[in-house]
Structure 1
């Protein structure tokens, strides 16, 4: 089976579909103490904090995978209007939510 289409657009060219409902994929991640120390030092001199960039990238990938799983469990063929939301929890945790509308193809 091909990977489920997840798109930020409302329309999927060549497909008519019915709306199943909203779906979500959530994850909360934290870096280890050594990454936090490195981030603190980088904060003094400036520049990209690669450990946190990597953590956010991985978090988005996990959130999308969970979004696909929830959509598949509801019988969806695709997810439209996908968006991300994120926020800090405490000083060293980051929560990422992927959300969108699960749809079922009519044709």
Structure 2
């Protein structure tokens, strides 16, 4: 499995900029649209659970679960961007992830932030 399968984030040509900061250098916030989020819940399949159980006895990375979490986070972020775009935003500030267990059924991942319209200064 290559490094690209363990990462996430945006492409350099994304039409909605997503940042973890409260502002974007060289840009000014023109309008605050409000909170946006992308949510997904994923269950673990039996193979991953058995593999994780065996791996926990000897230690090491749980690659199947890592890959599933990366895919889940990327899906939540895509949904956040879709919502921001639909509301007319071109940026999301203060981007964060929240991950919780969902009633022993799986993992809930919520990507959230503040949708805004920014423009370049100067």
Name structure 2 gaps, 5 residues minimum: 1-12
The ranges of structure 1 where at least 4 consecutive aligned residues each deviate by more than 6 angstroms after the TM superposition are none
Residue 12 (structure 2) pairs with residue 8 (structure 1): no
**30-39 or 94-103, which deviates more:** 30-39
Change in 2 beyond 3 A, CA 1:60/1:85: same
SS at match of 2:117: strand
Match of 1:87 in 2: 100
Name structure 1 gaps, 5 residues minimum: none
| TM norm structure 1 | 0.91
Match of 2:52 in 1: 39
RMSD between aligned residues? 1.5
SS at match of 2:111: strand
| TM norm structure 2 | 0.81
Match of 2:43 in 1: 30
Deviations 1:32-77 (A, max 9, x none): 1111111111111111111111111111100110000000111001
Alpha-carbon distance between aligned partners in 2 of 1:92 and 1:50, rounded to the nearest angstrom: 20
CA displacement at 1:92 relative to structure 2: 5.3
